[in-house]
Amino acid sequence: MKKLVLPNGMNIILEKTKSNSITLGVCVKTGSNNEDDSVRGISHFLEHMIFEGTKNRTVQEIVNEIEGVGGEFNAFTDHEITFFYARVLSKFFNRVLDVISDILKNSTFDEKAIEKERKVVLEEINLRYDDPKAYQWLLFEKTLYKNHPTKYPVIGTKESLEKIKRKEIVGYFEKYYTPNNMFVIVTGNFNSNTENKLKKEFVTLKPKKIENKNIIEEFTQDISEQVKEKKEISHSYLIIGFKTVNKTHEDSYALELICAILGFGQCSRIYNEIRIKRGLSYDAGINIDLNKTFGYIAAYASTENKNVDLCRSIILKEFKLENLTDKEIEDAKNIIEGNFLLRNEDTRELAFTLGRFQFFNDAKDFKNYIKNIRKITKNDILRVSKRYFTGKYTEVLLYN
C-alpha cells in the first residue's frame, strides 16, 4: 500500500492487486450526521446530484463513459461519509479519472436536474417506509438515540427534501467536497504512471477550512425501551439492540467476534435457535454498526405475531453467551477472516474497506485487522458481553 498527501491536503491511497479491474473511489468525510435540521437528507440528495451533469458532460454522457465499457459507477451515503466510485477494466482507468475529476471540478447542479432528482429521492423515501425490512432499522435508530444525530434517517424526510434549494446544495458541496476533507482510493491493476496522473488531476483543487460539527457522544443506555408500531404486513419484525462503542475502541474486535458467534450465517447461535431448531423465522440474524462517533449491535427476526415473545426470549438469552466454547470462538475467527479476505478480492469492496479504515484512523490498519481479531480471547469476549449487553436494551416491533 502506498499513501501520499497532496499540498492541498488530499490523501491518496493506492493498493495494487492482481485483477482485471481497477476501482477509483472518492470518500468524502460528511454524511447525514453533519446536517442541520433545515437540510436533513442533503448529503444523500447531493450524492444523487453528482451524477447529474458537469460543464463538459451531460448526465447521459457521464453514464455512457463508464457503463459503455462494461463498468460500474455508483455511490452511497451513510451517517458519516459519502462514497462514490467507478470500477472498470484497468485499461480504461484514464477515462474514469477524467470523469470523476470533472465531477469534482465542474458539476453544475442544474435546477431542472435538481427537481427531477427530488422526485426520485421522494420515491426512494416511500419505498423505504413501505418496506418493513428497511423501515424497521430507521425506527430502531430513531428509538436507540436521543441526542446523537444517527437518530435521523440518512435519506432525510419528505418535509426536509421538499424544502432544499439549489443554493443549499451548492453551499453544502463547496463546504464539504474539498480536497482536505476527502481522500481518493485506487485499487486493482494500475501501472507506474497512475500516481502522477492522480496528482495532476487533483492537485488543482482548492482546500478550505473545515468546521467539524460538534456531535454529542451517546454510548450508554440508562433504561430499556420498547416501541411497537402497527403496519399492514403479514407478520412481525423484531429488533433488539444495545449501544456499544465506536470502531476505534479496543472492544470493537471482541464485539465483531460476538456478532459472528451470534448471527453470521447458518451456523450462528441466533439463526440456529430461531430458524433451524424451531422454524420460527425465515430471516433471523444480527447487525453490527461501529462507526466513528457511534456504535450498536442488534439482533433481528421476522416471525408470526404469536412467536414474538419466544423469539425475544431466545435473543436475550443468546446475548448472555452462556456456555461459550473455544470451538465457537475459533469458528467465528475463521468466519470473519474468510469473509474479510474473500470480500476484499473485489477491487470495489477493497476500495470501500480502505476508505472506511482511513476515515476511522488509517488505511494501513487494514493489514492488521485479522491479526487483531485473532488476538481476542474468551475472557475478552465475556468481559465485553457483560459490559454492553445489560438488562437495558432497545426493542422495536412492527406488527400486524
- Looking at the fold, whether 189 and 67 belong to one and the same domain comes out as yes
Q: Are 288 and 339 in contact (CB under 8 A)?
A: no
Arithmetic mean of pLDDT, 220-234: 93
Ranges of H-type helices in the chain? 42-49, 59-67, 93-106, 111-130, 132-144, 158-161, 166-176, 194-202, 252-263, 269-271, 308-318, 326-343, 347-360, 369-375, 378-388
Instruction: From 187, 202, 217, give the residue that closes a domain.
Output: 202
- Looking at the fold, whether 321 and 363 belong to one and the same domain comes out as yes
- Determine, yes or no, domain membership for 39: yes
Arithmetic mean of pLDDT, 337-344: 97
- Which tens digit of pLDDT belongs to each residue from 58-80? 999 999 999 999 999 999 999 99
Strand duo 295-303 + 284-290: pairing: antiparallel
Q: Is 231 exposed, middle or buried (0-12, 13-18, 19+ CB in 10 A)?
A: middle
- Looking at the fold, whether 129 and 233 belong to one and the same domain comes out as no
- Looking at the fold, whether 183 and 249 belong to one and the same domain comes out as no
- Looking at the fold, whether 157 and 273 belong to one and the same domain comes out as no
**Residue 134: band (very low, low, confident or very high) from pLDDT cuts 50, 70, 90:** very high
User: Looking at the predicted structure, is the pLDDT value of residue 265 above 80?
Assistant: no
Instruction: From 170, 202, 234, give the residue that closes a domain.
Output: 202
**Residue 108: band (very low, low, confident or very high) from pLDDT cuts 50, 70, 90:** very high
pLDDT for 142 equals 97
Arithmetic mean of pLDDT, 25-46: 96
- Looking at the fold, whether 6 and 133 belong to one and the same domain comes out as yes
CA pair distance 395, 228, nearest whole angstrom: 8
- Determine, yes or no, domain membership for 90: yes
CA pair distance 21, 168, nearest whole angstrom: 37
- Looking at the fold, whether 243 and 374 belong to one and the same domain comes out as yes
**Residue 267: band (very low, low, confident or very high) from pLDDT cuts 50, 70, 90:** confident
The x, y and z cell numbers of residue 32, run together, are 447525514
CATH number for the domain including 179? 3.30.830.10
186: phi then psi, degrees, rounded to nearest 5: -120, 125
The x, y and z cell numbers of residue 130, run together, are 413501505
- Looking at the fold, whether 140 and 238 belong to one and the same domain comes out as no
- Determine, yes or no, domain membership for 207: no
For residue 54, the SS3 value is strand
Q: Are 73 and 63 in contact (CB under 8 A)?
A: yes
- Looking at the fold, whether 173 and 238 belong to one and the same domain comes out as no
pLDDT for 367 equals 96
User: What is the reported pTM?
Assistant: 0.94
- Determine, yes or no, domain membership for 276: yes
- Determine, yes or no, domain membership for 23: yes
- Determine, yes or no, domain membership for 218: no
Q: Rg of the chain's alpha carbons, rounded to an integer?
A: 22
- Determine, yes or no, domain membership for 215: no
User: Looking at the predicted structure, is the pLDDT value of residue 220 above 90?
Assistant: no
Q: How far is CA 16 from CA 13, 20, 24, 188, in A?
A: 10, 11, 12, 5
The x, y and z cell numbers of residue 322, run together, are 452462556
CA pair distance 232, 400, nearest whole angstrom: 6
User: Looking at the predicted structure, is the pLDDT value of residue 212 above 80?
Assistant: no
| Among 53-62, 213-222, 295-304, the least confident range | 213-222
pLDDT for 218 equals 87
**Residue 247: band (very low, low, confident or very high) from pLDDT cuts 50, 70, 90:** very high
Q: How far is CA 384 from CA 96, 231, 259, 374, 379, in A?
A: 44, 36, 12, 16, 8
> Range of 260's domain?
225-399
pLDDT for 140 equals 98
User: Looking at the predicted structure, is the pLDDT value of residue 264 above 90?
Assistant: no
Which amino acid type is present at position 206? Answer: K
- Which tens digit of pLDDT belongs to each residue from 149-162? 999 999 999 999 99
- Which tens digit of pLDDT belongs to each residue from 154-202? 999 999 999 999 999 999 999 999 999 999 999 999 999 999 999 999 9
Q: Is the Cα dihedral 156, 349, 11, 356 positive or negative?
A: positive
**Residue 222: band (very low, low, confident or very high) from pLDDT cuts 50, 70, 90:** confident
Q: Provide the number of structural domains found in the chain.
A: 2
The x, y and z cell numbers of residue 200, run together, are 495532476
- Looking at the fold, whether 87 and 176 belong to one and the same domain comes out as yes
- Looking at the fold, whether 94 and 234 belong to one and the same domain comes out as no
**Residue 216: band (very low, low, confident or very high) from pLDDT cuts 50, 70, 90:** confident
pLDDT for 215 equals 84
For residue 68, the SS3 value is coil
Arithmetic mean of pLDDT, 136-147: 97
CB atoms near residue 173 (< 10 Å)? 19
- Determine, yes or no, domain membership for 208: no
- Looking at the fold, whether 154 and 235 belong to one and the same domain comes out as no
